[in-house]
A and B are shown apart, each in its own frame.
Chain A
Amino acid sequence: MILTSGLTLFGIGLLAAAILGIASKLLYVKEDPRIALIENSLPGANCGGCGYAGCSGAATAIVAGIAPASVCLVADAETSAVVAAIMGQEVVQREPELAVRDCTGGLRATDLFHYEGALDCRAAHLLYGGSKSCPEGCLGLGSCMRACPFDAIHMGPEGLPVIDSTLCKACGNCVDACPRGVIGVSGMSARLLHLNQTTDCLAPCRQKCPAQINIPRYIEQIKAGDYDGAVMTIKERNPLLVTCGRVCPRPCETVCRRQYVDETVGINMLKRFVADRELRSGVHLPVPCAADTGKRVAVIGGGPAGLSCAYFLRRLGHSPTIFDAMPALGGQTRYGIPEYRLPKADLDWEIQGILDLGVEAKLNTRFGRDFTLESLRADGFDAVFIGIGAWQASGMYAEGEDLDGVMGGIEFLTAHALGQKPETGNKVIVVGGGNTAIDAARTCVRLGADVTLMYRRTRNEMPADVEEIVGAEDEGVQFKFLAAPARVIGDENGKATHLEYYEMELGEPDESGRRRPVKKEGSEQRMEATLIIPAIGQKPDLGCLYDDNEEGTCPLETTRWQTIVADPDTFETAIPGVFTAGDVYTGPDLVISAIGDGRKAARSIHYYMTEAAIPVPETTQKGMIPYTLFKEIDSVERKKRAVLPHLCHGEERNCTFNEVEGPLDEQQALAEADRCLRCGLVCYDRDEPFLAEERETTPDS
């Protein structure tokens, strides 16, 4: 019996083995031997951080070409090299990436979360649609923390995830776990290329800033004493922070929520504080650039748009060359803004920082005369950026304005900046109400003239910054409101001697919302003048685009305001590979707008050169997000806004071109940074005492 049993089992086993043996011969599936080799080279951690089921899955994916040789997150560079060698690939250094949390919190907002027991972000989001009012912000339940295989995330004291950059392997598991898109994995290039999305946590100031600077972040860094960090945060969006810290009209501050408590946060003062700190140190903080791509871009125009475009292209690894018609870079920041507002030495220092990254500059080289689009193509440039600004002054449309002694505002300021000492005489009339008019008037005061600024509306309607108007008043500029030039009267030598003007009165509001000035018939009067400066407006000078062709046709499509037509999302003109931004595209606008658009154009150029198509996400933020605009802010203590100190006083102020305003000191800056409410989309910081009360009353939150 034992023998029979043994033989039977042996027989069944033998039969099964024979069948399996034959089957394995017949059903053999050839497996790539590289899979086993690669699997043996991997550390065998089976952590799943790579996104594949274990090391075996990762090895299969590498051989299938789905995953790169560097897919393993726990292996070192040496392992990647071994795997790449097995695959016959070359190891290229990858830009370091890190997980970044993009939500400023709102711990103290009333609407954090109430979830009826759910303990996971995904659950709160899926089961209840998320009962938190903020449609985008962090839920604070820690799903990302649990998803991280490397323990690189912990929940901070404010209920927000904190990422440990030393442990983060940028595996993206936290990104997958977060249902709100609050966490993202990005490297430097990705951050530079990112446009504000409506799904980002965008405080109103960040939405309004034309350069999309992460304002809450740099204020937070200032508050924490990380001044260098704040500089680097600003430089991710704006390479001209010393300039903007002095001349930016601060659109961000117009939407600051703090204004509904007391006064807006001095955002630009804080920018200037850290910018000046770097300036005074005399050493540029090292700015990282991606590995060289070998792509060359011609940047025509070295103003803020061109400098910004070149800076961001360089940081993305490309090689830009700036061509500028003037003897020095800076465009209208150099030639349109007087020394007392922006010292040239500071501007030079800032521009040198950009050039030091490896940006080439060719000065005194005029587009259309010294080179053309065709010659640039022939020289091997992969793309062209046109940022030639708006250098032509608009006329007064008054008889006699071509007489000697009439000089456009921008021409006057440029001549002065070039040291040409334009003749002012002792009686100057500046016509206009914008910043250029004020700059021209204050410059003439410093040159020793009696200056009258003539504006056709009242002081309330002046488009210039209020601080500038007050500064002009303090320095003795006379204002003649409700007056418009009729004609320029000259002497027998053709030299202007008087300006005849009409008195005006305000009528119905026009399309700009300002009341339209109406001429009072028979009100003509004369005012004596040695120099008349019309500073009414500027427009681009497109003569350079016309080359020497006699028909006068422009190779690019232009508008009736003499601006270049381009795609509003990509800044690409009708000619493929030719991009534009700045005043030549928008018409006269802010320095910060030119800087912001310069980066957007650099982004487009980068995609054009590397991927041919330029992606524009559907959720790109364009206007203000309506639900982020509050009219009432609760539970915030009133605190006084800082005031910039005046550097020169009394007589000295009117006769030198020394800088008028100085930066905040450290104590003032910290106090001002502390006024920031750290806003998110709908959340903002309330003050501690109120928070304590709230915690007592709502223990669940």
Chain B
Amino acid sequence: MQEYFLLFIGAMFVNNIVLAQYLGNCPFIGTSKDTGVALGMGAAVVFVATLAAAFTWLVQEYVLAPFGLDFLQTLAFILVIAALVQFVEMFLKKMVPPLYKSLGIFLPLITTNCAVMGIALICQREEFGFVKTVLFSFASGLGFMLALVLLAGIREKLAVRRLPIAMRGTPIGLIMAGLMSLAFFAFKGMI
């Protein structure tokens, strides 16, 4: 049990997908201007990352590994994630329209989100079992959401402060992301 707990905490804080692994920086900067938007994007990533990791684990385990085609991992995962996102979009649109509406534009955006791809690939590199893969990807998604919401909060406050024009917007966002990244290094000692 402790192993799973540590895996969860580790994925969320110590090896945070954005702030420690530096993956998914474009949506991190692009959708962190408003906490509401950040929450929507975070939720979409949690949802898709968990499903994608689970499916790619199955593809790796039952298609690629038995035929010795591990080198096709990246290509195959891109295919699987893209198809999965499309499927999820269709499914939600038909079956859960309110959730589909609330996720809005973020759902198709995730197709090209390297954080989702990265989570799936890390699970393979670490040779996790299915349960650990699901847990890790869920925790990583939460870690992404946490970082996104925190940065959005900071940027909302920054938007109304007196700043040099050259620093406004993305530059100060990147600086803040860097500072947050340094702060998250403090979690390194935890595990």
A residues lining the B interface (CB < 8 Å): 4-5, 8-9, 12-13, 16-17, 19-20, 23-24, 26-29, 117-120, 122-123, 127
Contact = CB atoms under 8 A, between A and B. Distances in A.
Contacts of A17: 83
A27 B95 contact: yes
A13 B159 CA distance: 45
Contact of A23 (B75, B87, B159): B87
B83 A9 contact: no
B59 A12 contact: yes
B72 A120 contact: no
A16 B79 contact: yes
Contacts of B87: 19-20, 23
B79 A13 contact: yes
B162 interface: yes
A176 to B, nearest CB: 15
A4 B80 CA distance: 18
Pick the 7 closest A-B CB pairs, nearest first. A123-B160, A16-B83, A27-B94, A117-B162, A27-B90, A120-B160, A29-B93
A16 B162 contact: no
Contacts of B21: none
Given A117-B161, A118-B161, A23 B63 contact: no
B72 A27 contact: no
B35 to A, nearest CB: 14
Contacts of A13: 79
Interface centre among A12, A17, A29, A127 (most CB of B within 10 A): A12
A5 B69 contact: yes
B183 to A, nearest CB: 24
A12 B90 contact: no
A19 B64 CA distance: 19
B86 interface: yes
A117 B164 CA distance: 12
A118 B157 CA distance: 10
B91 A27 contact: yes
B5 interface: no
Contacts of B160: 118-120, 122-123, 127
Contacts of B69: 4-5, 8
Given A5-B72, A16-B79, A23 B161 contact: no
Contacts of B86: 20
Given A12-B59, A20-B90, 8 more contacts: A8-B63, A12-B76, A16-B82, A23-B87, A29-B94, A119-B162, A120-B159, A123-B160
A26 B90 CA distance: 9
A143 to B, nearest CB: 10
Contacts of A16: 79-80, 82-83
Contacts of B79: 9, 12-13, 16
A28 B93 CA distance: 9
B3 to A, nearest CB: 32
Contacts of A24: 90
Contacts of B159: 120
24 contacts: A5-B72, A8-B63, A8-B67, A8-B69, A9-B75, A12-B63, A12-B80, A16-B80, A16-B82, A16-B83, A17-B83, A19-B83, A20-B83, A20-B86, A20-B87, A23-B87, A23-B91, A26-B94, A27-B95, A29-B93, A117-B161, A119-B161, A120-B159, A127-B160
A118 B63 CA distance: 58
Interface string B91-113: 10111000000000000000000
A120 B72 CA distance: 52
Given A4-B67, A4-B69, A119-B161, A9 B76 contact: yes
B81 to A, nearest CB: 10
B93 A27 contact: yes
Contacts of B76: 8-9, 12
A29 B96 CA distance: 12
A577 to B, nearest CB: 45
Interface string B156-187: 00011110000000000000000000000000
A59 to B, nearest CB: 16
Contacts of A5: 69, 71-72
Contacts of A12: 59, 63, 76, 79-80
Interface centre among B76, B83, B91 (most CB of A within 10 A): B83
A319 to B, nearest CB: 47
Nearest to B76: A12
Contacts of B83: 16-17, 19-20
Nearest to B71: A5
A126 to B, nearest CB: 9
Contacts of B161: 117-119
Interface string B108-124: 00000000000000000
Interface in B14-35: none
Contacts of A120: 159-160
A112 B165 CA distance: 25
Nearest to A121: B160
Nearest to A122: B160
Nearest to A8: B69
A510 to B, nearest CB: 59
Contacts of B82: 16
A20 B95 CA distance: 16
A20 B160 CA distance: 46
Nearest to B77: A12
